[in-house]
Amino acid sequence: MNPRDWLASIALAIAFVSPASAQRADAPSSASIAEVHARELPREAQEAIVLIRKGGPYPYAKDGAVFGNREGILPRAKRGYYREYTVKTPGVRTRGARRIIAGASGELYYSDDHYNHFRRVRE
């Protein structure tokens, strides 16, 4: 095999298995995320949703911070699209593990295990 053909085959192989193309193929869709009705969530989550819809005030300084979706579980969006809000956990002194993630289009996601799993909230 001549060097030019060898380079072309390497370039094709790299393009075929590039992480960017793999991420697009594996990107979750909102259809693959389980749903939960807001009335089925814990009372504290329902209260957080009311505050989110009102625009605050929020009990935690980090409420409203950008959620980066580093886990890649939620549908892909530009940085800043998602914001995170704390859901109080009774008996826990810290922010705990429960969160509501709000998308810029108004969609909400609930996690009770610090972003390991999400359920889309239906209102």
**How far apart are alpha carbons 79 and 9 in whole angstroms?**
35
C-beta of residue 88 within 8 angstroms of C-beta of residue 59: yes
Radius of gyration of the chain from its Cα atoms, rounded to whole angstroms: 20
C-beta of residue 86 within 8 angstroms of C-beta of residue 63: yes
**How many Cβ atoms from other residues are within 10 Å of residue 105's Cβ?**
7
3 state DSSP class of 78:
coil
For the question of residue 114 being annotated catalytic, the response is yes
Catalytic residue among 35, 37, 40, 114: 114
Where do we find the tokens 């909102």? 30
Catalytic residues: 84, 114
